[in-house]
Amino acid sequence: MSNDFAHLHLDNTLYDLPIITGTTGERAIDIRGLLRDTGCITLDSGYMNTGSCQSQITYLDGEKGILRYRGYDIADLAENCLFIEVAYLLLTGELPTLPELEQFKYDMTKYSLVHEDMIHFFDHFPPKASPMSILSTMVGTLHDFYPEMDLDEDPYGGITTTTARLLSKTRTIAAFSYKKNMGHPLIYPRADLSYCANFLHMMFDRPNMPYEIDPVMVSALNKLLILHADHEQNCSTSTVRLVGSAGVRLYPSISAGISALWGPLHGGANAAVMRMLENINADGRDYQKYIDLAKDPNSGYRLTGFGHRVYKTYDPRATIIKKTCHDVLKTQKISDPLLDIALHLEELVSTDDYFIERNLYPNVDFYSGIIYRAMGIPTNMFTVMFALGRLPGWIAHWQEMNLDKESSRIGRPRQVYTGIPDRPFVALADRC
C-alpha cells in the first residue's frame, strides 16, 4: 500500500518512514519500526494525531462532515434501513438479503430474554443506581450466564450467536433497568415486534395502562440508533479494542466500552446537554452568561454538545437529528422549550468568533436528548440509548481486531518518563 516515504533526519541519520494511504486518500506515516530503528518513540497525548489500526468498518471525514458505514453514507442508511440492517452491515460488511434479515430478526427474538437469575441482580442495586453502571455490570455478567463461543466456533460472516445474544439481551437489560428504577413490573419482549418497537414496549407498557406503540417514535428511535451505531476509533470503541487486545472476551470488553462511553466528554454529553439547557431555562434564559463562561479559559465550563475531536464542521449526524427533532415534535404536537433554547443557543454560537475560530459546531449529542425526552425516556437513560446504538459498532471493531493478526497484538502504549531519576533507598528509620 505504500509507494512513498516520509524522511526523518535524526542524529545525523536519515530514516525513510513508509507512507500508508487509505481507501479515500488519507495518509499515515508508518512508525511501527521507529523505536527499533531510531531508539525514539513518539509522544501524542490524547492520540490527537495517532492511528491505532487500519479498519474497514467506518470512514469519516472531519473537514467535509462525511460519515459512511462500510461505504454507505449515513444519510442513506438512516433514511432507508432498520437499525438491525445497519447492525448486520457493520458486523458482516454487507447489508443483509431478505432471508438473512429474516434470520437475524428471528435470532433477535430468540435471544431477547435474560436468564431469570440475572433479574434478581436488579433487586440489589442501590435505588438510584445509574443505569450506566447497571448496564456495564449486567453486560459483563452475561459472560457467566452465556459462555461465549470462539469466533471460529461461531459462524463468522453471518451474525454469530454470541453477537445476536448480546445485541438483543442488552436491549432487554436496558429496559428492565428502567422498570426496576421506576418500581414497575418488568415487561417482557414480544415476538411480534421490531427491535425498536420492542424496546419502547418493554420500557413503557404497563399492566394497568397498555402502551400504544407510536410508529413516529419507533421511526425516530430507529434513526437515532443508526446514527449512533459506529464512529471509528472514538474513546469507547478504542477502549473495546484495547481491552479485547489483551485476549478479553466480547462481553467484558463491551462492558469496558460502556464505562468509557459514560464520560460527559463522550456519550454522557447527551444527558449533560439537557442539564445545560435546563439550567439556561431556569436562569432566565441568560444565554450570554453561559456562552461567556464557556469562553473563559479559567472557568473549566464547556457548552456541552458542541465541538468534536474529528469534525471541524457540522456533525452530519447532528444535521439529521435536528431535522428529526423538528419532525417528531411537530407530528406529536409537542412544544418543548428546551428545543427553542437549543436552537437559539446554536444561533448565538454560530456567530461568535470564539466558536467559529475553533470550529465548534453541534455534535451528535446536542439535539438527541430532546427526541428521547419526547419519547418519555428519562435523562439518566440517555447515555444508555447511546450505548444501545453503539453496540454493533463496538462488536464489529472487537471482531475486526481479533481477526486481524496485526491489530490483535496487545495494545501497550509507551511514555516519556519525567519523574525522579535513580536514587538510593532510605530505610524507614532514616526517613525524617
Q: Which are the catalytic amino acids?
A: 308, 365
Q: Closest CB to ligand SDX among 164 and 364?
A: 364
Count of beta carbons in the 10 Å neighbourhood of residue 258: 29
- Select the span of 71-79, 142-150, 298-306, 321-329 touching ligand SDX (CB under 6 A): 298-306
The 8 Å CB, 24+ separation contacts for 299-303 are 303/276, 303/345, 303/349, 303/355, 303/360
Query: Residue 153 Cβ, how far from ligand SDX at the closest point, in Å?
Result: 31
Q: Which position among 320, 328, 364, 387 is part of the footprint of ligand SDX (CB under 6 A)?
A: 364
Is residue 168 within 8 A of residue 112, CB to CB? The reply is yes
For residue 29, which phi and psi values (nearest 5 degrees)? Answer: -85, 120
Does the protein bind ligand SDX through residue 383 (CB under 6 A)? Answer: no
Q: Identify residue 67 by its one-letter amino acid code.
A: L
Q: Which position among 92, 163, 181, 363 is part of the footprint of ligand SDX (CB under 6 A)?
A: 363
DSSP output for 27-44: EEE--TTHHHHHS-----
- Select the span of 139-147, 161-169, 176-184, 356-364 touching ligand SDX (CB under 6 A): 356-364
Q: Which position among 206, 330, 358, 409 is part of the footprint of ligand SDX (CB under 6 A)?
A: 358
Query: Residue 244 Cβ, how far from ligand SDX at the closest point, in Å?
Result: 17
Does the protein bind ligand SDX through residue 111 (CB under 6 A)? Answer: no
Instruction: List Cβ neighbours of 180 (8 Å cut-off, separation of 6 or more).
Output: 122, 123, 125, 186
Does the protein bind ligand SDX through residue 234 (CB under 6 A)? Answer: yes
Query: Residue 355 Cβ, how far from ligand SDX at the closest point, in Å?
Result: 7
Q: Which position among 170, 181, 304, 368 is part of the footprint of ligand SDX (CB under 6 A)?
A: 304
Q: What is d(CA 345, CA 402) in angstroms, rounded to the nearest whole number? A: 44
Q: Closest CB to ligand SDX among 222 and 237?
A: 237
- The crossing angle, in degrees rounded to 10, of helices 382-403 and 83-92 is 20
Grid cell 427526541 in the structure block, residue: 371
Continuous segment of H or E residues that includes residue 371: helix 365-375
CA dist 7 to 20, 30, 49, Å? 14, 11, 18
Instruction: State which of positions 235-294 bind ligand SDX (CB under 6 A).
Output: 265-266, 269, 294
Q: Closest CB to ligand SDX among 205 and 365?
A: 365
- Select the span of 125-133, 139-147, 306-314, 376-384 touching ligand SDX (CB under 6 A): 306-314
How many residues of this chain bind ligand SDX (CB under 6 A)? 22
Does the protein bind ligand SDX through residue 55 (CB under 6 A)? Answer: no
Q: What is d(CA 218, CA 83) in angstroms, rounded to the nearest whole number? A: 11
Task: Note the residues at the interface with ligand SDX (CB under 6 A).
Answer: 46, 231, 234, 265-266, 269, 294, 297, 302-310, 358, 360, 363-365
